[in-house]
Amino acid sequence: MKRNPSTQVAMKSLFSTYSKRMYLKGIAVMLFLLSFASVSSAFHESIPSIIPSIDGQIQENEYQNHYRDTKINMDVYWTLYKENIYLALRSHAKGWMGIGIDPTGSLMQGADIILGYVKDGKLFIQDNFANSAVNRAPDTVLGGKNDILESAGSESDKGTVIEFKRKLNTTDSFDRALTDNEYKVLLAYSESDDLTSYHPVKSTAFINFFSGNVRNEDTDDVGKEGSIVKTQNPATDSIPAEKDRYQSFLTMLTGVISIAGITIALLIIPERGRSK
C-alpha cells in the first residue's frame, strides 16, 4: 500500500523535536494520572485473595465451595488453588471429626483419611489411610508421609472447626491424587476426642472437588435446597460441557475474524475524496 506524500511527511515529522516534546508531555501526563490513580486506589479495599486463611475460623465466602450435609449437620468447605486444596470441616460436636476420600473397598477400606480434634485450643490432626474396612493408620506408620502442609482448628460451644491444606497430588501412595472426577467422600464426627471411639454420626456424599458438584447418597439430588449449599462460585456455577468449551472457542474465533475482517475491509475501501 502506497502512502500519500502528506502521510510520509507526517511520519517523518513524528520524530521531530516538537513531536518528541509532545511525547514527553504525554508520558508526564500519563505518569501523573497513574500516580494519582495509585494513591486513590490505596484507599480502596484491595482485591481479596481466593486463598483461604488457615486460622481455624471459617469466614463467610472464604471458601469457593461449600457442602452442608444435612443428614449429620456437618459442613465441608474447599478451595482449589494452584496445586493445593484448602479444606475445612465443621461439626456441631466437640469431639473428633474426619473426612475419608475415595474408599476403594467395603466400608472405608482404601480411603485417604484426614481426621483431627481440638483440645485445649490446640489442634491434633492426622493424615491417615484406611488399611482395612474398619481400621486406619497414620500414613507415616504405613511407610508414607504426613502431607498436611498447614492446619488450624478451633472449638467453641457452637462446635469444632478444622482447616487444613494439602497438595492435590501428594505423590504419597497412601493419599488420593485429586483430579477432576467425582469421589466418594465419607464424613464422620464424634462427641469424643478419642480417635478410636466409634463414630455413629456418619454420612456419605459424592464430590467433584474441581467442579464443586456434589451428589448426596441418600437423596441423589444435586443442588436440593437444604441438602447442598453452594456459595456463589464462578468455577462451579454450571460446568460447561466439552461441547460448550468447543462452542466458546468457535465464538472467540468468529469474533476475532469478524473484528479483523471488518477492519481490513474498511481499510481497503477507498475513502471518498482522498485522491484529491
When binding is defined by CB under 8 A, the residue of 34, 134, 141, 177 that contacts other proteins is 34
Applying the rule CB under 8 A, the residues between 214 and 233 that interact with other proteins are 231-233
- Residue 100 Cβ vs other proteins, minimum distance, rounded to whole Å: 23
For position 105 contacting other proteins by CB under 8 A, the verdict is: no
Q: Are strands 182-189 and 97-101 parallel, antiparallel or unpaired?
A: antiparallel
Residue 243 contacts by C-beta under 8 Å, 6 or more apart in sequence?
A: none
- Residue 261 Cβ vs other proteins, minimum distance, rounded to whole Å: 4
Cα→Cα distances 214→123, 222, 228, Å = 28, 6, 7
When binding is defined by CB under 8 A, the residue of 49, 59, 156, 196 that contacts other proteins is 49
For position 47 contacting other proteins by CB under 8 A, the verdict is: yes
The number of beta carbons lying within 10 Å of the beta carbon of residue 6 is 8
- Residue 23 Cβ vs other proteins, minimum distance, rounded to whole Å: 5
When binding is defined by CB under 8 A, the residue of 152, 153, 210, 227 that contacts other proteins is 210
Helices (H), the chain: 5-13, 17-42, 139-142, 242-268
Sheet holding 201-208, edge to edge: 137-138, 122-129, 112-119, 97-101, 182-189, 201-208, 214-216
For position 177 contacting other proteins by CB under 8 A, the verdict is: no
- The Cα 123–Cα 116 span in angstroms is 7
Binding site for other proteins (CB under 8 A): 6-7, 10-11, 14, 22-23, 25-27, 29-30, 33-34, 37, 41, 47-50, 61, 80-83, 168, 179-180, 210-211, 231-240, 244-245, 247-248, 250-252, 254-271, 274-275
